Structure 1
Amino acid sequence: MNKSEKAGFVVQKLEEIYPDVPIPLDHHSPYTLLVAVLLSAQCTDERVNKITPALFVEADNAFDMAQVPVEEIKEIIRPCGLSPMKSKSISELSRILVDKYNGEVPDNMEALEALPGVGHKTASVVMSQAFGVPSFPVDTHIHRLIYRWGLSNGKNVQQTEKDCKRLFNEALWNKLHLQIIFFGRQYCPARGHNPHECPICSRIGRKPMFRNFDLKPANK
């Protein structure tokens, strides 16, 4: 298969396996999604979903969160890791949202990326999942699979994102990146992967992995 044929097969197979794919982080608003995605850095979605209910009981909007002491936020989110940095970012971005956006999460990449603790990937997730704007968030796990499937030779997530946007129809981006995440967890993990049993690798081949990606946990 050439690269275009591989991309078409990936889309077809993922649609067969995951015709309906849920958003993995529990949330009920753009703000709660933004906070959940920020917490998911170097943490599993499962753990984030266990922590956010307690946090959102305290505050589930920017106005209320801006009033919660940073130390209190830090204690609640401690199991997610990196709690000093994440609690400070949550507090600071909440104040900015109140001061500049009347408590609302902005629906453009530039404004999102200017918020404390919000990088390009986090902003892309919010644009995609909260506002339905075509985006293709790429983390190290999507990067690993796209490389494994021979769809990109990108040495970083930025290049892989560009390659994905060129390969796949824009209308597919928001759903496809979630399908890839779920597929990686179920069928194509970094470690213990059997390419002969994998529904995609068994058909399109498997490139040797970057060594550091093989050491990443499969579930995040």
Structure 2
Amino acid sequence: MTVKNMTKKQIQTFFEILREQRPHPETELNYSSPFELLVAVTLSAQATDLSVNKATDKLFPIANTPEKIYALGVDGLKEYIKTIGLYNSKAENVIKACKILIEKHQSQVPNNRADLEALPGVGRKTANVVLNTAFGQATMAVDTHIFRVGNRTGLAVGKNVLEVEHRLIKVIPKEFILDSHHWLILHGRYCCIARKPKCAECVVSHVCNWPDKYEFGAHRQIKTKNIEV
């Protein structure tokens, strides 16, 4: 069943409520520099933020620059990240990326998509996260959570992540675009979950177009203070 796209009014209300719920959303990955963020996001592919944080909380105090991580070598880096899925290939990619950053970018993380995606282990999603979170650019990293929320709610219906990404950038009002990635991923991670979405607790269920939401406890009418519904 195809979900009907949200109207402009629904989208405006949707993000007003998410902003009210989380005025200052942030990534759950621990980092203190663009480079640490780049490494953390690279390691987070097919892994939880919690597992990445456990590893980087030990790694970054020892090595948190391209030079220091490169000096560890692949085997040295593996010792810190071996609890993370796919750690063998991730260690190789991070070391190769550090070498490129040192040789081509003066050890600085580039703030453009082309140079980021040229780094080993960095695809479009990782580049979007870094551009948005580290450099404040209006990008949208579509992971499984955001893909699900976009399609389920009618916010951005698309057959693949690129379609959803392009529609989100198109329909999200400018006032919300910089924080929208974090609002959507957190909403998908903790409320609009895959198998048993918490529609009964959802603060935006009244503007969601998912036909099955009532089966999961969504209320048919919700009055939200100071927000027009």
TM-score (ref. length: structure 1): 0.89
Counterpart mapping for 1:96-175 below 5 A: 96-175=100-179
Task: Flag the 1:207–1:39 CA change in 2: closer, same or farther, 3 A.
Answer: farther
Tell me what 1:215 maps to: none
Q: Secondary structure at the match of 2:72?
A: coil
Asked if 1:92 corresponds to 2:96, the answer is yes
Q: 1:134 touches 1:173 (CA, 8 Å); kept in 2?
A: yes
Q: Secondary structure at the match of 2:83?
A: helix
**Which residue, 65, 75, 79 being the options, matches 1:75?**
79
TM-score (ref. length: structure 2): 0.85
Query: 1:90: Cα distance to partner?
Result: 0.5
Task: Flag the 1:104–1:8 CA change in 2: closer, same or farther, 3 A.
Answer: same
Query: 1:204: Cα distance to partner?
Result: 2.5
Query: Taking CA–CA contacts closer than 8 Å with sequence separation of 6 or more, which of the two structures ends up with the larger relative contact order?
Result: 2
- Deviation string for 1:38-81 (max 9, x for gaps)? 01111111111111021113310011111112012112111111
Q: 1:150 touches 1:207 (CA, 8 Å); kept in 2?
A: no
Q: 2:6 touches 2:208 (CA, 8 Å); kept in 1?
A: no
Tell me what 1:217 maps to: none
Equivalent position amino acid for 1:59 in 2: A
Give the number of the structure whose residues are more often helix, by fraction: 1
- Deviation string for 1:60-109 (max 9, x for gaps)? 00111111120121121111110111000000000000000111111111
Structure 2, unaligned runs of 5 or more = 214-229
Identity of aligned residues (%): 36
Q: Secondary structure at the match of 2:176?
A: helix
Tell me what 2:182 maps to: 178
Asked if 1:40 corresponds to 2:44, the answer is yes
Counterparts of 1:25 and 1:115 in 2: how far apart (Å)? Answer: 20
Tell me what 2:219 maps to: none
**Range with bigger deviation, 185-194 or 68-77:** 185-194
Task: Flag the 1:59–1:206 CA change in 2: closer, same or farther, 3 A.
Answer: same
Task: Flag the 1:146–1:207 CA change in 2: closer, same or farther, 3 A.
Answer: farther
Q: 2:6 touches 2:209 (CA, 8 Å); kept in 1?
A: no
Q: Secondary structure at the match of 1:10?
A: helix
Asked if 1:29 corresponds to 2:39, the answer is no
Structure of greater Rg = 2
Task: Flag the 1:50–1:161 CA change in 2: closer, same or farther, 3 A.
Answer: same
Query: 1:131: Cα distance to partner?
Result: 1.1
Structure 1, unaligned runs of 5 or more = 210-220
Task: Flag the 1:200–1:171 CA change in 2: closer, same or farther, 3 A.
Answer: closer
Counterparts of 1:193 and 1:97 in 2: how far apart (Å)? Answer: 41
Alignment coverage as a number of residue pairs: 209
Q: 1:195 touches 1:206 (CA, 8 Å); kept in 2?
A: no
Query: 1:6: Cα distance to partner?
Result: 2.2
Query: 1:186: Cα distance to partner?
Result: 2.5
